[in-house]
Amino acid sequence: MIFGSPEAWGTAVYWWSIPLVLGDAIFPPIPSEMLVITGGALAAEGRINPWLLGAIAALCSWLGDVLVFQLFRRQLSSVLDRWGWGRRVHRGIHRALERAGRSSAYGAITGARFLPGGRLACSAAAGIGDVTARGFSFCAAIGAVLWAIWLVGLGYFTGSATRLPFWASSLIGVGVGLAVGAVLGLIITKRRGNRSPVVEPGTED
């Protein structure tokens, strides 16, 4: 594949988005965002269908989140309970969810995917906590759709506005996306006062 040629990408973007977006739920360094933005830039050139790409990205994002949620809900949380520090972390997550309230927890499930590493952290915390499977699935679906629209739209907009080669438009879109995520992360950190809601091992109430 010649990476600088739009013809070489074609429908391959659809197929690559499936494992990358799914894998990103478990391993955040996987560059799924870059691929989806690149697909948006290709759509601006008329190479692919942005609606199909968005649907695939949203579906895979939702499936990956549900997978992580179920793993932590049914398997990994019981593993944590085998050790004292794991039980303290487990109880800390429950208390954090109680303090935040259900509306805040569901809002985090919807929006956390826009922060670096937020998708995995929030899905895992929801699985360990008392968030219902139905509530998580619904909020994760909304977040997945918004995430896909944002990334495909970002790539499409940069491609249409700059008229640069698709790979250059993709890099610009990735830069904008990282900047937005960093700003959101700073705002959330500042509002929380840099305090973690999870009780660390060895700490007391």
Q: Look at residue 24 and tell me whether its pLDDT is greater than 70.
A: yes
Q: What is the mean pLDDT of residues 180-194?
A: 57
What is the reported pLDDT for 205? Answer: 42
Q: Nearest CA to 173 among 58, 62, 43?
A: 43
Q: Which tops the pLDDT comparison, 162 or 133? A: 133
**Helix, strand or coil, per DSSP, at residue 123:** helix
Q: Which residues of 157-189 are buried (b: 16+ CB within 10 A; e: fewer)?
A: bbbeeeeeebeebbbbbbeebeeebeebeeeee
**Predicted pLDDT of residue 198:** 38
Chain-centroid distance, C-alpha 169: 22
Residues 190-205, mean pLDDT to the nearest whole number: 43
Could you tell me which of 7, 40, 31 has the C-alpha nearest to residue 116?
A: 31
pLDDT in tens, 150-175: 999 998 988 888 777 776 777 787 77
The tokens describing 126, both together, are 């929801």
Question: Comparing C-alpha atoms, which of 74, 91, 101 is closest to residue 200?
Answer: 91
The C-alpha atoms of residue 99 and residue 197 are separated, in whole angstroms, by: 9
Residue 203: per-residue pLDDT: 42
Reported as a pLDDT band with limits 50, 70 and 90, residue 90 is low
pLDDT band at 201 (very low <50, low <70, confident <90, very high): very low
CA dihedral 127, 128, 134, 135 (to 10 degrees): -100
Which among 9, 24, 29, 102 is positioned nearest to 65, based on CA atoms?
A: 24
* Among 201, 174, 197, CA closest to 95: 197
Quickly state the pLDDT bin for 179 (edges 50, 70, 90). confident
**Mean pLDDT across the chain, nearest whole number?**
75
Between 40-49, 110-119, 183-192, the lowest mean confidence (pLDDT) is in 183-192
